[in-house]
Structure 1
Amino acid sequence: MATAALPAAHQQPSDKEIRLVIAASSAGTVFEWYDFFIYGTLAALIGQAFFPAGNETLQLLLVWAGFAVGFGFRPLGAILFGYLGDKLGRKYTFLITVTLMGIATAGVGLVPDAATIGLVAPAIVILFRILQGLALGGEYGGAAIYVAEHAPPEKRGYYTSYIQASVVGGFVLSIAVVLLCRWAIPPEEFADWGWRIPFLLSLILLAISLWMRLKLSESPVFRAMKEAGETAKNPFTESFTYPGNKKRIFVALFGVTGILTTIWYTAFFSGLSFLRGPMRVEEHTVELILLAAGLIAMGFYIVVGKWSDRVGRKKPIVIGALLTLLLLFPVFWGMGSLANPGLARAAEANPVVVSGPECSTDPFAELFGRQQSRCGQILETLTASGVRYQVVEGGTVGLTVGGAAVPLAEEWFADGEARRNGLQQALSAAGFDFSRQSPPLGNILGILALLLVLGGLSALTYGTVAALLSEMFPPRIRYSSMSIPYHIGAGYLGGFLPLISGFIVARTGDVYAGLWYTWAVVAFGVIVAIWGIPSGPPRDFADEIS
């Protein structure tokens, strides 16, 4: 099946046009991902406002469930906006997506909390998350393809890497805005109403993004196809019927997106949650560390993208995935030992052992009206406190620390706050430190270095992807064909990562156990990548690629 040849006039945008294309597309991507990530950055306050629950673990899981809902709708957005992008054009489609995202994000900042309007509050928030997911499902493919179709082949990896770096830029911007708001607003007021300001700021970012993107012209590849009358009649159907495309979609889903998205969210969101949660590092410190790591890591994506123009797209992805399998657990172990060394030393010197019947956690028991067992209540509180434990068989519920029995007060099993305070007080006497941590400068620099290792792994597996996916699929169905597998992978394999890994941690009591989810997805993905991603120098789509 032939594809339209591009007229010469459409092949060489000027340097000024290229700079505008990269700047406008990247800025819009930064703003749109800011809108999406601000929810995760403010997860703790979102939980208190919209998802009140009887225990910290359930509250956080409900927040991450709301986070995952947005991702769950990304594939539908990819289908809808991919269709429009292949039928109507790249430019106007991602103008729609950025507008929808900005309005939905500002809406979250205007929703009254659950104390005011009850269950209607989380329902409205989830609705806005759905709209965000739909918008994001169309944004990435549009921005990536738009830049790729303007770029000369020998610089496509370099130019499109700015789109990948912009995804990190959205995360960095979300942290920077939160830090600025925390600095300007007293802590009590920020927790009460100030957290809404970062959501409302999305209206300003929307105005800037629209102003920049309205200056853009349509993609030269799409213009050429339209002039030749070769646009797809039904891009969604053709994505699955075009010769060889089913294999390409499979490879794009598991061998490309599955790898990059789980590494990305583990590096940044799991890193954020791990340090702020079980490691109990002071929130400002965590946010500053992540801000610095994100800013520095943005450069890695551009370096990798430029490198891929010489060595091909496959090599960086495979190298990054294999290194992740080797380094993932050691990096997090290292961060844990640097962030809260006293907690690790106390657990080693005075091991915590829990015994009793029905000794397993049920994180969603309260949500579904089930009764958490007494032993499960103890385990849930220990996990939320970042304490590792061992479970043994027993006829009655018991807890020992360093071999010494801890008396379990009856009121602990009726009041979660009393249980947390009582357990932490008993464990503090054995050397456990539950205060917010402010690690020394050397430890902070060590944590930063380890986060940069994760950032480097993410750059290797993500920096080349916009170019690779654009090259894998035929122009007439490119928007749909790359958006569908990308957003299924990013939406489900990556978007559900905080929820799945959090559930694994809650069930096992091991703060590192959730990393096995990332490890398994990457292990399968690297096999698919080695098998399915074209080797050798970069090359444009050709019908003979199977």
Structure 2
Amino acid sequence: SLRLLQGLALGGEYGGAATYVAEHVPDAKRGYYTSFIQTTATLGFFLSMGVIGFTRLSLGEADFKAYGWRIPFLLSFILLGVSLYIRLKMKESPLFAKLKSTGQRSTNPLKESFANPVNRRYVILALFGATAGQGVVWYTGQFYALTFLQSMLKINWKEAYVLVSIALLITTPLFIFFGRLSDRIGRKPIIITGCALGALTYVPIYMAMKAFSNPRGLAVADPSEINYPVMVGLLVIQMVYVCMVYGPIAAFLVELFPTRVRYTSMSVPYHLGNGWFGGFLPLIATAVTASAWAKNTFGDGSIYTGLIYPIAVCLLTIIVSTLYIRETKDHKIDTAI
């Protein structure tokens, strides 16, 4: 129940945070300023790994599995208090205040988002042409990579956490770099390139991860056989892709919809793309890898078959975005209140 509540809270807050920041900053720097929001997801993931790791080490595996796994969730209430305090001190954005003062505020934004054919089309295009690919690239680079290290390569969880943490520390500033770059060259080229690089290189990257960590396929990876610098490098490459697709996404979504339904309209594709397409990635990838079809068809190579899913979604996003979505960089978000 607690996990469900946290998910619902995040679902509501991302669209609000992106809209709030975007409506306060200059048009020419929207990608730069909104990219700071994206760093919070990675920093939160990094913090969660630290808290979980500390709890596991402090309690031991038996106690952690019995009850200790609940402790990190309970500690999140501290952050809830901080965020609630900040929220209560914030004022409405100038664009929303103008909308409210003129009586143009939507009374049913969800209905209006889907009742209007043009807006409904953009919601669907944003899902399949941006956030679906962004979601699977994000989950592949951060979450599935960690799962693969532990479940497939049999690397000790402590070492896996350290490898991923180092890669996160190295790449987190790149969210801001790509957000700022999108203000110059556009949101679409960067997002599409990130998806394309993922689709083209995931299989060789994961094959290299095996070759440089557990080449003999031992039941438990031998630490002496793990090439730690190379492993960090392979994780960094994946996380660069994450920064490419995630850094400009908030600005892109904000610019796609008018103010009166912006919050709702951008939240729907964002959370379907990340919650469904991305969120189910570890489960789908693991199920494909463990299937009889994968083992019978690919043998030892079956451990890479889970990558079929993110590659397919990336290709779908590239096609839809290229054919049907316009560049949004130069859009003035106050022109379609």
**TM-score of the superposed pair, with normalisation by structure 2:** 0.91
Structure 1 residues 293 and 322: CA distance shift in structure 2, 3 A:
same
2:286 alignment partner, one of 502, 507, 514: 502
* 8 Å Cα contact 1:157/1:305 also seen in 2: yes
Alignment of 1:458 with 2:332, yes or no, is no
Structure 1: distance between partners of 2:3 and 2:67: 20
Question: Counterpart of 2:174?
Answer: 300
Matched residue, 2:262: 478
Match of 1:468 in 2: 252
2:198 corresponds to 1:331: no
Q: For the residues of structure 2 that align with 1:438 and 1:200, how far apart are their CA atoms?
A: 34
Q: Which residue of 2 aligns with 1:185?
A: 59
* Counterpart selection for 1:529 from 321, 325, 329: 321
Contact 1:281 1:436 in 2 (8 A): yes
The alignment status of 1:159 with 2:33, answered yes or no, reads yes
Does the residue aligned with 2:72 lie in a helix, a strand or coil?
A: helix
Q: Contact between 1:164 and 1:463, CA under 8 Å: does it hold in 2?
A: yes
How far apart, in 2, do the equivalents of 1:247 and 1:534 lie? 13
Give the structure with higher Rg (CA). 1
CA gap of 1:193–1:233, structure 2 versus 1, over 3 A, is closer
Count of matched residue positions in the alignment of Structure 1 and Structure 2: 328
Query: Any idea what the Cα deviations from partners look like across 1:392-429, whole Å, max 9, x if unmatched?
Result: xxxxxxxxxxxxxxxxxxxxxxxxxxxxxxxxxxxxxx
Contact 2:252–2:328, Cα closer than 8 Å, also in 1: no
Counterpart Cα distance in 2 of 1:244 and 1:138: 23
* 1:537 to partner: Cα distance: 4.3
Q: Could you say which residue in structure 1 is the equivalent of 2:220?
A: 435
| 8 Å CA contact retained: 2:255, 2:328 | no
Letter in 1 for 2:304: Y
The alpha-carbon distance between structure 1 residues 473 and 439, as it changes in their structure 2 partners (threshold 3 A), is farther
Partner residue of 2:299?
none
Contact between 2:109 and 2:260, CA under 8 Å: does it hold in 1? yes
| Structure 1 residues 329 and 178: alpha-carbon distance in aligned structure 2, compared to 1, 3 A threshold | same
For residues 225-374 of structure 1, what are the structure 2 equivalents within 5 Å? 225-242=99-116, 244-343=118-217
Q: Which has the higher helix share?
A: 2
1:167-246 correspondence runs (5 A): 167-242=41-116, 244-246=118-120
* Aligned-partner residue type, residue 257 of structure 1: T
Q: Which one has more relative contact order, counting CA pairs under 8 Å at least 6 apart?
A: 2
* Identity, % of aligned positions: 42
- 5+ residue gaps, structure 1: 1-126, 344-432
- Cα RMSD (Å): 1.9
Offset of residue 536 of structure 1: 7.3
Letter in 2 for 1:258: A
Match of 2:298 in 1: none
**In 1, Cα distance between the equivalents of 2:274 and 2:143?**
14
**Cα shift at 1:534:** 1.9
Deviations 1:43-65 (A, max 9, x none): xxxxxxxxxxxxxxxxxxxxxxx
Q: Are the structure 2 counterparts of residues 153 and 439 from structure 1 closer, same or farther at C-alpha, using a change threshold of 3 Å?
A: farther
> 1:156-200 CA deviation, whole Å, 9 max, x = no partner?
101100111111111111111122223433444434433332122
Aligned-partner SS, 1:341: coil
8 A contact 2:214–2:221 mirrored in 1: no
Contact 2:175 2:246 in 1 (8 A): yes
Note closer, same or farther for the CA distance 1:451–1:506 as it changes in structure 2 (3 Å cut).
Answer: same
**1:130/1:537 CA distance change after superposition, 3 Å:** closer
TM-score by length of 1: 0.57
1:69-118, CA deviations, whole angstroms, 9 ceiling, x for partnerless residues? xxxxxxxxxxxxxxxxxxxxxxxxxxxxxxxxxxxxxxxxxxxxxxxxxx
In the aligned structure 2, how far is the partner of 1:166 from the partner of 1:516?
Answer: 29
State yes or no: 1:540 paired with 2:332. yes
